Amino acid sequence: MGKFLKLLVLFCAVSFALTLRTEEEIRRRDEMLRHSDNFTAAFSQEYLRYKETGVRTRQLEQMLAMMQITKEFARVEITELDAEAAIMSCVACRATVGLLLQQYRSGARDKEQIIEDSIGICIDLTSYSVIVCEGVIRLFADHLIYIVDARPALTANQMCSMVLQPECGDPDPVFDFTINVSPGPPITGPKSGSIPRNANEIKIIHITDPHYDPAYLVGGFADCPDPTCCRRFHGMANTTAARAGRWGDYRSCDSPWEVVEDALEAAHRQHPDAHLIYITGDYIDHGVWETTHAGNMAILDRFYAAVRRVFGNKPVYPVLGNHEGQPTDQFAPSHITDPVISSHWLYQHSANAWAQWLPASALTTVRRGGYYTVNNLPGFPRLRIIGLNNNDCYRMNLWVMYSRVEIAQQLQWLHDTLLAAEAAGEYVHILGHILTSGSSCFRYWSREFRRIVDRFHRIISGQFYGHSHNDEFNIYYARQQHQTAINYAWLGGATTSYGGQNPNYAVYFVDREIYQVNEKESWYYSVTEANLNEATRPVWRLHYRFREFYNLPDLSPASLDNFVTNTMSRSRNALRSYREFRSSASDFVMNQPCDDNCLRGQLCSVTRNEINDNRKCNEINNFPLS
């Protein structure tokens, strides 16, 4: 009893002290992780005793209470959780996965018993219903069991370090890999300069993260404990305040079809002269406990048909999001052919659907792994588009723990494709779903991608992503020169309001010589306003023109870095306006308090290129604000 109480006191003292991601906080976190093995052993002992006797001891109840996982865990990145919730999620992962692994590998529990135990633990540690816990566990079980059987040396700490990076420590070196990067000219300074704006620019519409939910129920219950709400599953709301609106809801609700369709039609209506359409994934809803192959394909088919109907013969370049996997986030290597866990169905379906937009030469790699390249575009002879399936970088893709071979192959293909583009005098736009430098991608993948960007930053003229649902940007800095800005990425926001932001889409104005973005516009509608006038369609408005609003000379990496370093990091007004832009003027976000620390927190998302590489962020994060 005495040893247990000392352990409990230590965990409480350390976890409740964690409030900011500071050096001291990281030290305390590491101290806590050093004791997690003792906690895991104690939890295993208490839990197994409960399974034998049916009686929960006071110690077990205290442990379960400590490890409670909030509903926000399934809705945001782990780095967005408060520090206490983040570190306790790591403790919960190590304790529960450690227990289940030991029981399965020792033969004490068979597969079905492990599934039942996992469902019980899910119910104990979350607010999710039995239906949600059982659905999620059973959907993911075959994938995880296959990986565990194939990798008998895989430990709970290794698994948790991957899924919960960086709050569970760096990913274990066992997950490390490298690709071959060809030598190139040295980086001698920031990438600067642009082509003057003119009437002959290319206009590109960027649509991302529609998250169409066929189960969306207007008037349904919008405030629920599950990963997504506003669904027939939850029934009709019993109060006006809890009611899901016709045009979306800020509270963890995906999009009804009218919202998806309206966003496409508004983009076309406002910009009939657009030349290209970029669509960066996540067409499927967040009902992760009940997705199916057939259901996912039905959603994809309906969305692609609407894109074709609205935009006609305009060139469209789509990529896959993490929600397109079945189950969510899972992208098995190509040699996995078992139809229950294989990803072949998705790649074949994508190749068939995208054949209306991509040439036959691009579909070979789509069938292989969901990625492609296209060049010699009519009217844009020196522009090459690369569409990545970078969901294999996602820390929630369990197959990363199985093998990095195909992950390395796609990155090597990217490198080799850029090498060919360089030789041909082409400029490149890279499309993907997940921002390569955020907390979503595991560190070793981000490092290797960054090496590629370092090598080819001169010809990579733009990167375009989704996933975060925030309308934001990221500056890439040279790995060995953290003050040297060499590239950038634009994140398009989302046409869903899931996550609390207003629906939006982006428009880029691109020159025809080096194909760099000269201006970015964002268009949105207010969910609050739209739902007050449900009988009429939402009013889409121009929110901002980035270059014009901040009075920038151009949108080159050097110019953006100068703005972030010398203006944004020192000005409350600049940080407040950027916060408004990121949320697409969401009432839900803007009505929440945000002090100076909150405002400064945005600087890291703009300047970080790799987990735990905070050099640039730390450099600019403590300037006094005026």
CA distances from 540 to 207, 504, 537 (A): 14, 9, 9
DSSP bridge partners of 212: 255, 284
Q: What angle do CA 415, 418, 424 make, to 5 degrees?
A: 145
DSSP bridge partners of 574: none
* 437: nearest Cα among 383, 478, 399: 478
Beta-sheet strands, E only, within 302-341:
316-318
Measured CA to CA, the distance from residue 536 to residue 174 in angstroms comes to 55
The two tokens of residue 578 are 């950027």
* 454: nearest Cα among 430, 486, 414, 416: 486
Q: Helix 405-423 crosses helix 443-456 at what angle (to 10 degrees)?
A: 10
469 is in an annotated binding site: yes
Asked if residue 355 lies in contact with residue 424, where contact means CB atoms within 8 angstroms, the answer is no
566 is in an annotated binding site: no
595 is in an annotated binding site: no
CB atoms within 10 A of CB 77: 15
Burial of 138 (0-12, 13-18, 19+ CB in 10 A): middle
Q: What angle do CA 233, 236, 240 make, to 5 degrees?
A: 140
* 185: nearest Cα among 445, 469, 385, 422: 422
390 is in an annotated binding site: no
Q: How many Cα atoms within 13 Å fall on the side-chain side of residue 441?
A: 27
349 is in an annotated binding site: no
Binding site listing for Zn(2+) = 209, 211, 282, 322, 433, 467, 469
Binding site listing = 209, 211, 282, 322, 433, 467, 469
